[in-house]
Structure 1
Amino acid sequence: MKKIKKALLVLAGLILLVIISLIVFVQTLKPDYSGEKTLPGLQEDVNVHFDTFGIPHIYAENEPDALRALGYVHAQDRLWQMELLRRLAKGELSEVFGPDLVDTDKFFLSLGIDEHTNQTVSQLDKEDEMVVLCQFYLDGINAFIEEGPTPVEFYLTGIDKRPFLLEDVYNVVGYMAFSFAMGHKTDPLLTSIQQEFGEEYIDDLAIYSDTSTVWIKNYKKNSPDSLGAMITSNATKALQKLPVPLFVGSNSWVLAPSKTKNGKVILANDPHIGFAQPSVWYEAHVSTPNYEKYGYHLGGVPFPLLGHNRDLAYGLTMLQNDDLNFYYEETHPQDSTKYRTENGWERYDYVTRTIKVKDSEDVSFTFKKTRHGPVVNDIATQIDDEQPVAMSWMYVMHKNEVLHGLHGLCHATDIAQFEDALPKIHAPGLNVMYGDADGNVAWWATAKLNQMPDSVSTKFILDGTSGKQEPIRFLDFSENPSAVNPPWQYVYSANNQPDSTAGMLYPGYYLPENRAKRIVQLLENKNDWDKKATSEMILDVTSSVNPSLVTELIKLVDVSILSEEQLIWVDALKNWDGHYAVDGISPTLFHRAEYYMLKNTFEDELGEDRFNQLLATHLIKRHIAWGAQMEDGKWWDNVHTADTLETRLEVLIKSFDDAWNSLVEDFGPDPNQWQWGKVHTLEHQHPFGKVETLRNFFNVGPFPVEGTREVINNMAFPYDSTGLYKVNSGPSTRRVIDFSDIENSISILPTGQSGNPFSKHYKDQAEMYVKGKFRKMMMNKREIQDNAESLLKFVKK
């Protein structure tokens, strides 16, 4: 018995020792928010005050020292995120996650971001101020890599930490640029539909600009298993496996002094990006005697894409311009190394790349390139023998000055300097929103826009052999859509169609008018906006389109065919105001019926795979309201019922019936149990959260959330057969900048400032976010010092 007791005591001691060791180990993995550290290269000491949400307020005597400190604190909270972002363009995700990411790596390597980066960096002036400041920031990151704790994800994947280089900064920006492009999802799919079904089916899709919808106004004082479907499928599947989010949309509006209660500009901005953990933006306030910026940073990028100070503020939405096109090429019939051009035969370039794969052999692959870009057939190996299709992307086709542009934006001191920096951002296409303390409001579309021949639609795969479908010219930046101090006293963007510019409408993948219409409705008749009213507007969850669509369709229904219970809820739908609260029933019934209406309209022709591809495009978002109101059209008929010609009414009735029956099956026969919050939920997923045993540790949520697709508080979700609307994108931050009270401007992040799961700031804003709360973006030095949670001091050697 004594031996057993002794053994148990030894075992208990060992268990206690393991627990203590784990606790000590975990403590070493946490970010350091206080204390004193030596930071190589500093000219003077730097103080970093962390507020109660972990936001660093960096006070330095000069900008180089400030950026070194920024790089260090950014890395200690987000090194894992930085690591993934820089690996994307270089095709290095398989080295972390294994064979499942090989196709994704192939896809990104074929884009040529890393090749473009290498060419750009090799031509840089190393004494250029932008380059020098980037290097100071990288020095801070690398100081943390050398002496700071290793994030837990590096232990779990077994990868080593490596120094960050200037090339990594450019590669992160390149990924951002691609993440905005929609052409890879849409053009090949539309081409396959056109080839298989003909122009009548194309004409019945909302492909082109609808002049009856709300557009952004300019103001200038002076003036079948086809090739296409397979390409789309390959790109879609590759992107679905990304462990980092894609950029998808956004809202912003800027109110001139005459529209506000206090006579000062107010800027609101909420860029819509895929939800993930950690969230996209790293928030930081940098202050020196000659420079100050409260900004939002991408992982590994020193210059904030969103920012403000006491003089000016800026935000972004996605322009959604068409900067990615596909071209059919023709291979020489006797010499497979050549392809046809209008000037004769030219030789393909051949590129061979090698992908390192975790727990597997390296994968080498070769793809061809034409003057337009990579031949994507060689990436989608299952279509290797089909007609070659090359992908042309604006980002890699032109000189890359994007980082110079971002540097210019965050160092501008007035509207003139700010506008001077914009032409350097050739891709991605952005709506840059601006307001300042002098009362100026402005919006500019930044992108390298081109003019195509009149008869050419860039929504389809183009002819790459004749030279007749190439750009005629590139527009000067002065011809881009814009509005500076317009007489209607505000500017806005909701990714909707901008009005004509340079005598033409620029093609794009614009989102429907829903959010734009609501924004204009709310802004037009109110001239006493303040911070509180603006923050309430940014949380608005009322659809400007869905109720009228419901009203129009219900008129068609013969109510005599409905049950008594169904009549009650059809009447509720008819009286629905389009509000999306978590306890609402009408939103659930509407979206379930909307999904079945799409399914019953398109899936019979397209099949399951292509139907799901269509659901992932902006095109289908535009089509929903437009197409549902089309009385006659090719898509209404079910091609599988040869003896019957289905109509819109029959599709509508079947879709309502399918929706009702599926809700009964999922939640029971009592519609009062069909609350929106049961099906519309938000979970912020970490790459390791896909492993069920790690989900609760790494993921944040799920939460029932209000909102929906294409309302201002755009809590978007993909449609699928599950009938669950799992939110996958939405406001990546909500910001309200009020120049009448600049030091009390407000914002929120979706989860928390830190990407380190052991940090107290990993998810401390998550519940605030879903409840629509905000926190201050502090700028007053005395207030920051008096209320700081901790002080981290960097000292020079």
Structure 2
Amino acid sequence: MAQVFTWLLRIAGTLVALIVLAIVMMYYLGTRSLPDYDDVLDVPYLNAPVEIVRDNANVPHIFGSNDEDVFYALGYAHAQDRLWQMTLMRRTAQGRLSEVFGRETLDIDNIMRRLDIYPLAVASLEAQDERTMRILRAYATGVNARLDQVNDEALGRGAPEMFLFNAPVAPWRPADSMAIIKLMGVRLARHLDTEVMRARMIKALPNPERIIDILPDAPGTGTAALPEYAHLLGPPAHFAGRSDIHTHPLSPFAPAEMAGASNVWAAAPSRSASGGTLLANDPHLGFSAPGIWYLARLELQSGGVIGGTIPGMPIVLTGRSDRLGWGLTSAGMDDQDLYLEELHPENKDEYRTPSGFKKLTSRKSIINIKDEPPVTITMHWTDNGPVLPGRLYNLGDVMQPGHAISLSWTLLSPNDTSMMAALRLMEAQSVEEGFALMEDYIAPAQNLMLVDAENIGMKMIGAMPRRDARHETQGRLPSYGWKEENRWQGTFPYASNPEFIAPAGGILGNTNNKVVERPFPNHVSFDWGDTQRVKRWQRLMQAREVHTRDSFIEAQLDAVSTSARTLLALIGTELWFTGEAAEEGTPLRRRQRALSLLAEWSGEMNEHMPEPLIYSAWVRSLQLRMVQDELGPLAVELTHVEPLFIERAFRDVEGASVWCDVIQSQPIETCADMARLALDDALIWIGENWGQSLETLRWGDAHQATHDHPVLGDVPLLRYFVNIRQSTNGGDNTLQRGLTRGYGDNPFANVHGAGYRGVYDFADPDSSVFVTSTGQSGHFLSRHYDDMAQLWRRGEYIPMSLDEDLARAGAVGVTTLRPAP
């Protein structure tokens, strides 16, 4: 027995030693790819030495004697910190994810190939001017210099993920950067999904005219410039299931509610306490680890530029120079149209056009799949655009027999000069010059806010489709592609895009809200991204006669929900004081406790409070109760509450209270009945998931920001190292936006928000600040992987200074790139 015990002990000891050795080996291999920021490297194709000074937040400040060398160094820095992220985005744009991840990403590759994103990016190179091509080539060469260094010095393949997902990394090409700007456009698109959802709901509703309730038009005439301060003094004011392609962590196809959003606002000197212009911007995208944003400073011949970049592109997308600041929000422009294409009944390779049947343009493409035989697909195009598969946004539900569906989209241009325009903007010296330079910008459509030392302005940039006034659906639903009146008639001139410069009130802003009221076809869009945040923004901007950098920061971090304040007053009208006695432990007593908490609540979606969770669960349950009998299985796809819908129903706008009656029941239910039943549903759900004590609930426990690694985030044990989770304020309709997931075990997880925040003060530009939601590095063993995460969560920022001495004073390293002999 003693001998057996001795052998068991030896075996156990050996296993432990092997496990420890394996962990040590993995750690060693992983750390090999950690960048050395104090380095001197001889690299090819560089004209003169370049310095990359990393400040104490690991933001690279790049100094060179010419612009091409500076962009070369930016490519090198991006590849140092985000190589895996860059190669993953490139594969997504190319439709080549399945080579690494197998069949689970085949649908994504299939659709990306059919959209032709990468070939269109290659074709667009011909449309760029020579300076843009020099920059793209220099940037690509800088990326490849890092790849060469990784190979020559055996630096752990450049990233830990490269060991786990072994695939060759091709050299970076200028077309790759062009493809990534198009990929971002795919992530920001919302109108394709909206068209399909509208069509599916109309088919499901007993009364299709009630679509105006559940998918309401944005009210009002549009908000951008606020009027003069003195004028606003006053009191406060039967379907297939949802396709899982949209929930895959690598999918760029986001549902409409998850498409890009953002906030941006500016103050003229007349509304600034410092006497200089102010600008605040926080673009909203889906969270990930690392985040999409990468901070950088470039010292160009025209002057210093600092702000947020996206690895893979040589552009400061949001930031400032000494003379100009710029910020972006998703414009909401309707730049997509779906078409039902009639196929020839005897020859499916032909489709109907205004002049008769015509042969589809076709091309085959081979998708290689890891550990499986390749798949060959045949891609088709009509005059209107690529033919799409039914898997995308449930297009199959709106197809008609004998038809296909094609897509017109400004992004699908083979002459896309958006990169060229964005590069020029970094050298602009004034608001007027900046807007003039963006005429060549095509897609994705954005609201561009510019401020110089004396002026502020906002203009919608991007090509706006020109539709015929006789268009059958006005672009709101799929239309017949063979009818001439439904086809695009080119695009509007750039001058017709909405523009606001030097408003009398001195304040400009956008929260993805409606900005103009125009008749079709000059309307810009029927569907905008926000109807709620803008109300709170108006209140905050007009609550002060003058603003400061700090007041703009307060607005970015404001977590008060205007929709909560409005809806609670409506849905709780007949519930606040029932006058009924209730014993402890009964549903009625629990309902009374919840109502008592909500009655004293300010509407602030604070992470430490219980009321946001009670409110969110209540209105979510309420909307589901109101729509499930009319929409059936489609009801669960309304993953987020539409405040305008609930408000219309409870105010009985145009008979909308009919939604509160359950069609299948004999009694006629009122909206008060629905509110009471929904509150009970919500309290039961809260008790089952978060505990019975309402007073001890915390919104932040449910509303955790989920910065998850897109490929390692679900791996047991490893997920604790690669995922970043944070308790957060905010909600779907707050300025500090924390859009909830809307489905699953925790529908209130925070999955989409401001991955970048910046506030710029042109009275003292070096007092400007910015921050990202994770950190600069994409390497999860780096201390810079998540070193900004807690700053971001607490609403803190880091300096955005162009002072070279400050950057060098706290530098974590200086990398010198020298021309190779």
TM-score, length-scaled by structure 2: 0.89
SS in 2 for 1:374: strand
**Aligned-pair CA distance for 1:646:** 3.2
CA 9–154 in structure 1, closer or farther in 2 if over 3 Å, else same: closer
**Aligned-pair CA distance for 1:291:** 3.4
The answer to whether the Cα contact below 8 Å between 1:663 and 1:674 also exists between their aligned partners in 2 is: no
Aligned to 2:545: 527
Aligned to 2:371: 359
SS in 1 for 2:486: coil
CA 722–140 in structure 1, closer or farther in 2 if over 3 Å, else same: same
Aligned to 2:434: 418
Give, in whole Å, the separation in 1 of the partners of 2:660 and 2:296: 53
**Aligned-pair CA distance for 1:12:** 9.4
CA 17–100 in structure 1, closer or farther in 2 if over 3 Å, else same: closer
Q: Specify which of 175, 188, 196 is matched with residue 180 of structure 1.
A: 188
SS in 2 for 1:692: coil
Q: What letter corresponds to residue 656 of structure 1 in structure 2?
A: L
- Deviation per CA, 1:214-246: give whole Å up to 9, x if none: 633599xxxx32xxx78xx44x62463426796
Question: Structure 1 stretches of 5 or more lacking a match?
Answer: none
The answer to whether the Cα contact below 8 Å between 1:512 and 1:621 also exists between their aligned partners in 2 is: no
Q: What letter corresponds to residue 78 of structure 2 in structure 1?
A: H
Q: What letter corresponds to residue 259 of structure 1 in structure 2?
A: R
The answer to whether the Cα contact below 8 Å between 1:285 and 1:294 also exists between their aligned partners in 2 is: yes
Moved more, 299-308 or 663-672: 663-672
**Aligned-pair CA distance for 1:516:** 0.9
The answer to whether the Cα contact below 8 Å between 2:430 and 2:451 also exists between their aligned partners in 1 is: no
CA 195–285 in structure 1, closer or farther in 2 if over 3 Å, else same: same
Aligned to 2:451: 435
Give, in whole Å, the separation in 1 of the partners of 2:28 and 2:566: 60
CA 372–761 in structure 1, closer or farther in 2 if over 3 Å, else same: same
Give, in whole Å, the separation in 1 of the partners of 2:488 and 2:631: 32
Task: Kindly indicate whether residue 669 of structure 2 is the aligned counterpart of residue 635 of structure 1.
Answer: no
Task: Kindly indicate whether residue 724 of structure 2 is the aligned counterpart of residue 700 of structure 1.
Answer: yes
Give, in whole Å, the separation in 1 of the partners of 2:23 and 2:589: 62
CA 640–397 in structure 1, closer or farther in 2 if over 3 Å, else same: farther
SS in 2 for 1:417: helix
> What percent identity do the matched residue pairs reach?
24
CA 240–12 in structure 1, closer or farther in 2 if over 3 Å, else same: closer
Aligned to 1:44: 48
Q: What letter corresponds to residue 258 of structure 1 in structure 2?
A: S
Task: Kindly indicate whether residue 324 of structure 2 is the aligned counterpart of residue 316 of structure 1.
Answer: no
Task: Kindly indicate whether residue 557 of structure 2 is the aligned counterpart of residue 539 of structure 1.
Answer: yes
Give, in whole Å, the separation in 2 of the partners of 1:791 and 1:412: 29
Give, in whole Å, the separation in 1 of the partners of 2:12 and 2:618: 63
The answer to whether the Cα contact below 8 Å between 1:588 and 1:675 also exists between their aligned partners in 2 is: yes
Moved more, 420-429 or 372-381: 372-381
What is the aligned length?
A: 778
CA 465–196 in structure 1, closer or farther in 2 if over 3 Å, else same: farther
Give, in whole Å, the separation in 2 of the partners of 1:403 and 1:522: 35
The answer to whether the Cα contact below 8 Å between 1:596 and 1:659 also exists between their aligned partners in 2 is: yes
CA 774–625 in structure 1, closer or farther in 2 if over 3 Å, else same: farther
Give, in whole Å, the separation in 2 of the partners of 1:777 and 1:553: 45
The 5 Å alignment of 1:354-393 reads: 354-377=366-389, 387-393=403-409
CA 369–627 in structure 1, closer or farther in 2 if over 3 Å, else same: farther
Aligned to 1:216: 224
- Deviation per CA, 1:84-111: give whole Å up to 9, x if none: 1111121111112111111111122221
Give, in whole Å, the separation in 1 of the partners of 2:739 and 2:775: 20
Task: Kindly indicate whether residue 315 of structure 2 is the aligned counterpart of residue 303 of structure 1.
Answer: yes
Aligned to 2:598: 573
Aligned to 2:232: none
The answer to whether the Cα contact below 8 Å between 2:572 and 2:675 also exists between their aligned partners in 1 is: no
Q: Specify which of 405, 412, 416 is matched with residue 400 of structure 1.
A: 416
Q: Specify which of 284, 292, 295 is matched with residue 283 of structure 1.
A: 295
- Deviation per CA, 1:422-474: give whole Å up to 9, x if none: 1212211100011112x110100012113432563322111212222223553
Aligned to 1:171: 179
CA 671–718 in structure 1, closer or farther in 2 if over 3 Å, else same: same
Q: What letter corresponds to residue 630 of structure 1 in structure 2?
A: D
Give, in whole Å, the separation in 2 of the partners of 1:85 and 1:311: 33
Q: What letter corresponds to residue 743 of structure 2 in structure 1?
A: D
The answer to whether the Cα contact below 8 Å between 1:218 and 1:498 also exists between their aligned partners in 2 is: no
Q: Specify which of 452, 459, 462 is matched with residue 447 of structure 1.
A: 462
Aligned to 2:262: 250
Aligned to 1:586: 611
**Aligned-pair CA distance for 1:382:** 7.1
CA 128–84 in structure 1, closer or farther in 2 if over 3 Å, else same: same
- Deviation per CA, 1:666-725: give whole Å up to 9, x if none: 233321132212211112100211212320121112x22111112110011122263541
Give, in whole Å, the separation in 2 of the partners of 1:517 and 1:8: 65
**Aligned-pair CA distance for 1:569:** 2.8
Question: Structure 2 stretches of 5 or more lacking a match?
Answer: 228-237, 583-587
**Aligned-pair CA distance for 1:508:** 4.2
SS in 2 for 1:689: coil
Give, in whole Å, the separation in 2 of the partners of 1:19 and 1:673: 41
Aligned to 2:235: none
Aligned to 1:674: 697
Give, in whole Å, the separation in 1 of the partners of 2:550 and 2:625: 44
Q: Specify which of 732, 737, 747 is matched with residue 755 of structure 2.
A: 732
Give, in whole Å, the separation in 2 of the partners of 1:261 and 1:392: 47
Q: Specify which of 481, 503, 506 is matched with residue 486 of structure 1.
A: 503
The answer to whether the Cα contact below 8 Å between 2:622 and 2:674 also exists between their aligned partners in 1 is: yes
Give, in whole Å, the separation in 1 of the partners of 2:12 and 2:262: 61
Moved more, 8-17 or 78-87: 8-17
**Aligned-pair CA distance for 1:11:** 9.3
Q: Specify which of 452, 455, 459 is matched with residue 476 of structure 2.
A: 459
Give, in whole Å, the separation in 2 of the partners of 1:244 and 1:366: 22
Give, in whole Å, the separation in 1 of the partners of 2:817 and 2:198: 56
**Aligned-pair CA distance for 1:749:** 0.8
The answer to whether the Cα contact below 8 Å between 1:511 and 1:621 also exists between their aligned partners in 2 is: no
Give, in whole Å, the separation in 1 of the partners of 2:120 and 2:489: 24
Task: Kindly indicate whether residue 810 of structure 2 is the aligned counterpart of residue 787 of structure 1.
Answer: yes
The answer to whether the Cα contact below 8 Å between 1:328 and 1:389 also exists between their aligned partners in 2 is: yes
The answer to whether the Cα contact below 8 Å between 1:433 and 1:443 also exists between their aligned partners in 2 is: yes
Q: Specify which of 177, 182, 194 is matched with residue 202 of structure 2.
A: 194
Task: Kindly indicate whether residue 675 of structure 2 is the aligned counterpart of residue 658 of structure 1.
Answer: no
SS in 1 for 2:790: helix
Give, in whole Å, the separation in 2 of the partners of 1:153 and 1:374: 34
Task: Kindly indicate whether residue 645 of structure 2 is the aligned counterpart of residue 623 of structure 1.
Answer: yes
Q: Specify which of 723, 732, 737 is matched with residue 709 of structure 1.
A: 732
SS in 1 for 2:62: strand
Give, in whole Å, the separation in 2 of the partners of 1:749 and 1:588: 26
Give, in whole Å, the separation in 1 of the partners of 2:801 and 2:608: 35
Moved more, 166-175 or 448-457: 448-457
- Deviation per CA, 1:262-283: give whole Å up to 9, x if none: 1001110000010001101111
The answer to whether the Cα contact below 8 Å between 2:293 and 2:309 also exists between their aligned partners in 1 is: yes
The answer to whether the Cα contact below 8 Å between 1:104 and 1:239 also exists between their aligned partners in 2 is: no
SS in 1 for 2:792: helix
Moved more, 83-92 or 334-343: 334-343
Task: Kindly indicate whether residue 425 of structure 2 is the aligned counterpart of residue 409 of structure 1.
Answer: yes
The answer to whether the Cα contact below 8 Å between 1:191 and 1:461 also exists between their aligned partners in 2 is: yes
SS in 2 for 1:483: strand
Give, in whole Å, the separation in 1 of the partners of 2:27 and 2:688: 47
The answer to whether the Cα contact below 8 Å between 2:117 and 2:182 also exists between their aligned partners in 1 is: yes
CA 21–571 in structure 1, closer or farther in 2 if over 3 Å, else same: closer
Give, in whole Å, the separation in 2 of the partners of 1:665 and 1:6: 48
Q: What letter corresponds to residue 682 of structure 1 in structure 2?
A: A
Give, in whole Å, the separation in 2 of the partners of 1:75 and 1:614: 40
Aligned to 2:34: 30
